[in-house]
Amino acid sequence: MNSLENLSSQGKTYKISFGWKLLILILVLPPTSAFIYLGIIPFTTPHKNIYSIVFFLFISVSLTAVIIIGVIYTFIYRITIFDHSIVQRNLLSEVKIDFSEIIGFRVIPNRGIILYTNSKKRKIELSIYMEKKDEIIDWVSENFKSFDDEEIQEDAIDIIKDAKNDDEQEEIIKKFDIATRIMRILNFLSVVTALWAFIIPRPYEIAIIANAAFPMIALLFMVKYKGIVSFEEYKNSIRPSVGPMAILPALAIALRAFLDFQIIYSKLFWAYWIAISLFFIGIFVIVTLKSNEHKKHKGVLILIAIMLITYSYGVMLHANCLFDSSQPKRYKTTIVDKKISGGKTTSYYLKVTSWGKFETETKISVSKSLFSSVIKGNEVYIYEMGGNLGIKWFVAMDE
């Protein structure tokens, strides 16, 4: 066993480098603020709903907790290499493995190196963000077997395993090359389209339709290129992934729906959301069963199901509101109070007297121009729309 220089009986310890610790602290501030604000959102909406409050609080607390735990883990994590063993200390545990137990390693992109033993539960991860990482990588490469090359070769063989002769094998390779080129283009376009919806969704209808289309195109590609493409870009897999073109547009369309439409929540809203979510999840299950995707990385499939629920929310609200031609009901109300809510974005609210089904004062979200043009005591008009799906929604105007 080759040893690192200056290795003694006390071992040599490696921590996450100071530069990465500082960078992580800086980078986590914006998302942490956003996730905390996410938990505040349902309390600032005009019509508070217990289901919305529970849902957004759960997401907010869960994501914030993940970030906090990750930061603590970063500062505690360390690796100590001794003459005949290696020890990993992290937030919840300490793992010691003798060199004789290690059977090989894998390099995980943007993460580091994992040392494996015969026991699935006993392994050690060497973070790529440690100080003197090159020294550690060289030491691991010199002393242990790499599993990566074997897995890449196995994945290539798996793609062409159904070929009955050389002609079919050549046809599969051609399809693989075509799918790889197309997916690079579509994944790039999906990122651009998602940013379009996030930042400047104009023309609005085209931006929304484009983002709604990408997740469906992703599923169609999984069917057309069965066994060649995958939903997620798995480690040591040469298969092109449709993940970016499904996930990013789905998040974009859901965010736009949440920001752009004020819904009057009802049982019909929840019924539609559940039904549409089950529909899209059902399609995805059928597609993954056909492509054998369900046999790989089941945890990722659960996250994809959550993504489809989010996508269903965006599709449902845009289908209900975007081309709604119903005759609106007009209600005259009086402004009781005005409020500006700051955060990642600035929201403008008016507290108005009772209207429609609301028998008490309610808080409604309005545009900046309307907010600036009115004062307490002014009258504003609320237009309640029936919705294409029967889910009522409304907008406020000054006339």
Q: Which tens digit of pLDDT belongs to each residue from 167-213? A: 777 777 777 788 888 888 998 999 999 999 988 898 999 999 999 99
Residues 244 and 136 in one domain: no
CA distance 103 to 105: 7
Residues 224 and 316 in one domain: yes
Residue 139 placed within a domain? yes
Residues 68 and 182 in one domain: no
Residues 300 and 167 in one domain: yes
Which residues 6+ apart lie within 8 Å of 174 measured at CB?
Answer: none
Residues 114 and 186 in one domain: no
Residue 2 placed within a domain? no
User: What's this model's pTM, rounded to 2 decimal places?
Assistant: 0.63
Q: What pLDDT is stored for residue 319 in this prediction?
A: 95
Cβ atoms of residues 218 and 246 within 8 Å: yes
Residue 7 placed within a domain? no
Quick one: tokens of 44?
């600032």
Q: What pLDDT is stored for residue 192 in this prediction?
A: 93
Residue 306 placed within a domain? yes
Domain with 79, as residue range(s), is: 12-149
Q: What pLDDT is stored for residue 27 in this prediction?
A: 86
Please state the domain count of the chain: 3
Q: Which helix (H) or strand (E) holds 287?
A: helix 267-291
Last residue of a domain, one of 268, 303, 321: 321
Residues 317 and 170 in one domain: yes
Residues 279 and 225 in one domain: yes
Last residue of a domain, one of 107, 127, 149: 149
Residue 6 placed within a domain? no
Domain CATH number, residue 381 = 2.40.50
Residues 60 and 107 in one domain: yes
CA distances from 164 to 155, 157, 167, 168 (A): 18, 13, 8, 6
Residues 135 and 49 in one domain: yes
Q: Are strands 393-397 and 262-263 parallel, antiparallel or unpaired?
A: antiparallel
- Which of the residues in the chain have pLDDT under 70? 1-10, 45-49, 109-110, 120, 148-164, 232-238, 289-300, 342-345
Q: What pLDDT is stored for residue 75 in this prediction?
A: 87
Residues 196 and 313 in one domain: yes
Q: What pLDDT is stored for residue 294 in this prediction?
A: 47
Residues 313 and 173 in one domain: yes
Residues 102 and 199 in one domain: no
Last residue of a domain, one of 321, 353, 387: 321
Q: What pLDDT is stored for residue 153 in this prediction?
A: 58
Q: What pLDDT is stored for residue 330 in this prediction?
A: 94
